[in-house]
Structure 1
Amino acid sequence: MKKLTLTLVTAMLTAIIFLGWGIDNLFNEYQRKEGTDEFALHKQLITSLAFTLDKIENVEQFISIWQSQNQQQLSLTPLAEFPLPASLQQNFSQGQPLILESEDFITVNQLLPSKQGVLSLSVAQTTKQHDILTIQIILTTAFYSGILLCAFIWIYPLIKRLQLLQKTAKAFGEGDLSQRIHLVNTSYIVDIENEFNNMAEKIAILLEDNKLLCNAVSHDLRTPLARLRFGIEALSETNSPQNKEKYVKHLSRDIEEMETLVGVLLNYARLEQKMVKVQRIPLKVNKLLHSAVASFASSEQSLVAIDTSGLTDSNLSILGDENYLSMLINNLLTNAQQYAAKKITISTQSTDKGVMLCVCDDGPGIAPNKRDELFKPFTRGDIQLSHKGYGMGLAIVHRVALWHGAQVSISQSDELGGAQFTVLFPQ
């Protein structure tokens, strides 16, 4: 919007200043030419008449005959009745014609020295005023037409971009979620277009995640529901106390599995909310990692060795939320422990781009064409179907990293041969 306002103000001010300056100079030039040439013939005429009449006796008779033959009025005024200011008196006394203007007439005056009078030739103002008024109307019309033209030149690209925005938004609303606006730097509303593209991208991702979640939930709930139905039927048909106890345990296990799935869904739903507040404070990244490793070492899940020799620099710091970063680390370790054979390595290092965290395992690894998909919720690799879980761990890792401006990538570990998860935190 700043660009839109700035270009509008600049265009209007430029148009007003340059058009006004140009038209004003044009009008002044017109007036200068008019003032220079308009009365040249009248001056020549009054000079010739004054030279002639100053030498004859019957001036009044000549003037009377002139009046009857010409539209331009000629008159003789005694010099004493023709007062002039001192600034005009000197040139007029030396014989130069003097032009005086009134509301209705312009008079060209010439001194008759021997008659001690002033010969005056009157020219009507009507024609001159009409010409000036016409010029003023033409120039005023040109000024406002120029302003309108500049406004149209400025607003036409805006109209085209707004039409494109309307067309894209309409297509997106009708279900074509691939529609985006091609951004150009010269657009006045490039910020709005960029925000629209971001909004469209988020909506498309949200709908895709929702579809994926629905499919995954329906798939993962179908198995425990089927076992529940079978267990209830079997429980109703048996009279053996031992069988009843066995079926009740199975039912309890299936219910717990469903509760776990619902809990996972609720946790991810909380992560999806945009109202989550991330409190960024300086944190020692290696301290967080040692705490997470200690928790795993004291749990029953710790079935493989975790090598922390790569955590050498205790001063490495990142800005982030301790709770969410602990969740990210725990999910990376849990994922590595599920698929590692004997060993997991954790390392950190400082780079030009930021602080890099790497978690490697000696498991089967992840195929390159499957790596990006694993960051989606309820997505698991083909070889991981025998392991427990719902495919939400890496989706949570990706979400938390996104909140912290970090980048997550999957590659193959050169040292262990399995998967390597790298999180690059910005400086």
Structure 2
Amino acid sequence: MWRFVVALVSVLIIASIALGQVFDVLYASEEPVQSDVSEQLSLALPILKMMAAKESLPILEKQPLQITQDDRNASLRLHSMDEYPLPFQLQQQLQRQEPVYLETQEQVKVHLLTNNQSILVYQYDKLAEQDDYRLSLTLIFYFLLVIILVLFLTPFVRRLMHLSDTAAKFGDGQLEVRLKVGTLWYIRDIELSFNQMANKINLLMDDIKLLAGGLSHELRTPLARIRMGLDTIVETQDEALRTKYEARVNQQLDDMEGLLIHMLDFARLQHSLDEATPLPLDLVTAVPNLVDLSFDGAVELNITPQQALIHVDQRYFTMAISNIIDNALKYGHSRCMVTIRQEKNEYVVAISDDGNGIDASKAAEVFKPFVRLNRQQCTGFGIGLAFSAKIIARYRGEIFAGVCTELGGTCITVKFPAL
């Protein structure tokens, strides 16, 4: 969510600055009134000083002089110091022959001290100001800011509503629904995370279905054999036959126990993979070490790159490759070859054998649990390649089954993104 916070704060700052610049220009329309006051004073002040310098002003002594100019009233008056009280500081300013300005919202007064110690007061009306739109402009500013925020939040809210609808459908059992990832960078991670979560849940549900179906299918045969063996043990009086069927029942029980252990391991695999910490691993070193320790020279190596770093957990990577090599040795005739090469931004590990090969139409099925293409020749529970496929997919790898043109058998190809 920090992306959304950054985007929201950025939009607020940019919008405030942009709108502020626009409204600054509008507020600047108040300046002509102030310039008019300054211009009026600059014109009248020299005349007023000349008048104040005269010994007497008989016209103003009798009555004030009214002046009308540009639709505003002006007047000149004489006041004695006693009649026109001013603060002491302003009186001192007049004594220094400095004009004293007093301004209200409607009028401007200029005071000068004459030679006979009277106060000459020039008073005039300000030009009528236009209506004060500052409050309106402030309200418009915030209104426009709210509109910008609404425009910014609208696609965000729309994507959240779509996310809510999709989550509701997913909760109702429509596990195939996914979000269409949009272009809003500050919510894109949330949509991707939802899709990843949905994929994991869907994968877990598929595993549960496979395990349930495979378990019911795999247990049916040993259970039938155990029932038949127990019936035979109960009915027969021959000790040799009884011993034989007891051994068969125990073998079937051992097979069932092994099946259950493998099934539980497969069920716990996804959780274990999520807890594992992937680290950089060099295929050029790891694969030969695995072959030397576990397969005692039974595997041929063909390594092209000098270094091949991938990002995996070494324990689970070893488990995945070991299962594939075991499978190749089990169903090959005499040769098994592991090739490591680089293709663009990927490293490829190819495990080939010289066995009977695999039908191209069934190549994808061998990576499903409990799948054995030839049950007469296959031993085990058909879960090894499913383990490998899940581990490889967890570390963003890909796995394929095909035909090896060099050895004539099966080739299992694994690809990992290079670091």
TM-score band by shorter chain is: 0.7 to 0.9
Q: Secondary structure at the match of 1:330?
A: helix
Relative to structure 2, which stretch is displaced further, 140-149 or 225-234?
140-149
Counterparts in 2 of 1:375-386, with a 5 A limit? 375-381=367-373, 383-384=374-375, 386=377
Conserved? CA contact 1:209–1:376, under 8 Å: no
Q: Secondary structure at the match of 1:379?
A: coil
The one-letter amino acid paired with 1:378 is F
Q: 1:4 matched to which residue of 2? A: 4
Measured in 2, the distance between the counterparts of 1:89 and 1:25 equals 40
The one-letter amino acid paired with 1:4 is F
Task: Give the Å deviation of 1:14.
Answer: 1.2
For each residue in 1:91-148, what CA deviation from the matched residue of structure 2 results, as whole angstroms up to 9, or x when unmatched?
A: x8xxxxx9x44346513559899998735335489x75xx67x422112212222222
For each residue in 1:384-427, what CA deviation from the matched residue of structure 2 results, as whole angstroms up to 9, or x when unmatched?
A: 56422222111111233345554322221111222101223435
Conserved? CA contact 2:97–2:113, under 8 Å: no
Relative to structure 2, which stretch is displaced further, 103-112 or 412-421?
103-112
1:13 to 2:3 alignment: no
Measured in 2, the distance between the counterparts of 1:3 and 1:278 equals 27
For each residue in 1:62-86, what CA deviation from the matched residue of structure 2 results, as whole angstroms up to 9, or x when unmatched?
A: 64999xxx99684512598796969
Unaligned residue ranges in structure 2 (runs of 5+): 85-89
For each residue in 1:240-294, what CA deviation from the matched residue of structure 2 results, as whole angstroms up to 9, or x when unmatched?
A: 1122112111211111110110121122233222224556565442131233322
Measured in 2, the distance between the counterparts of 1:331 and 1:56 equals 120
Task: Give the Å deviation of 1:219.
Answer: 0.6
Conserved? CA contact 1:286–1:348, under 8 Å: no
Q: Secondary structure at the match of 2:261?
A: helix
Q: 2:231 matched to which residue of 1? A: 233
Counterparts in 2 of 1:40-119, with a 5 A limit? 59=60, 63=64, 74=75, 76-78=77-79, 100-103=101-104, 105-107=106-108, 118=120
Counterparts in 2 of 1:251-266, with a 5 A limit? 251-266=249-264
Q: Secondary structure at the match of 2:414?
A: strand
Counterparts in 2 of 1:122-141, with a 5 A limit? 122-123=124-125, 134-141=132-139
Unaligned residue ranges in structure 1 (runs of 5+): 93-97, 298-305
For each residue in 1:336-370, what CA deviation from the matched residue of structure 2 results, as whole angstroms up to 9, or x when unmatched?
A: 23432444333334555454322212333233343
Relative to structure 2, which stretch is displaced further, 348-357 or 196-205?
348-357
Conserved? CA contact 1:15–1:147, under 8 Å: yes
TM-score by length of 2: 0.78
Measured in 2, the distance between the counterparts of 1:6 and 1:65 equals 65
Conserved? CA contact 1:360–1:418, under 8 Å: yes
Measured in 2, the distance between the counterparts of 1:357 and 1:279 equals 18
Relative to structure 2, which stretch is displaced further, 401-410 or 14-23?
401-410
Task: Give the Å deviation of 1:8.
Answer: 1.1
Conserved? CA contact 2:233–2:242, under 8 Å: yes
Residue 178 (structure 1) aligned to one of 169, 176, 179 = 176
Task: Give the Å deviation of 1:322.
Answer: 4.9
Q: 1:334 matched to which residue of 2? A: 326
Q: Secondary structure at the match of 2:371?
A: coil
Measured in 1, the distance between the counterparts of 2:317 and 2:119 equals 109
Conserved? CA contact 2:367–2:386, under 8 Å: yes
Task: Give the Å deviation of 1:314.
Answer: 11
Conserved? CA contact 1:278–1:403, under 8 Å: no
Cα root mean square deviation, aligned? 4.2
Identity of aligned residues (%): 26
The one-letter amino acid paired with 2:103 is S
The one-letter amino acid paired with 2:9 is V
Task: Give the Å deviation of 1:149.
Answer: 2.0
1:22 to 2:36 alignment: no
Measured in 2, the distance between the counterparts of 1:337 and 1:25 equals 83
Q: Secondary structure at the match of 2:275?
A: coil
TM-score by length of 1: 0.77
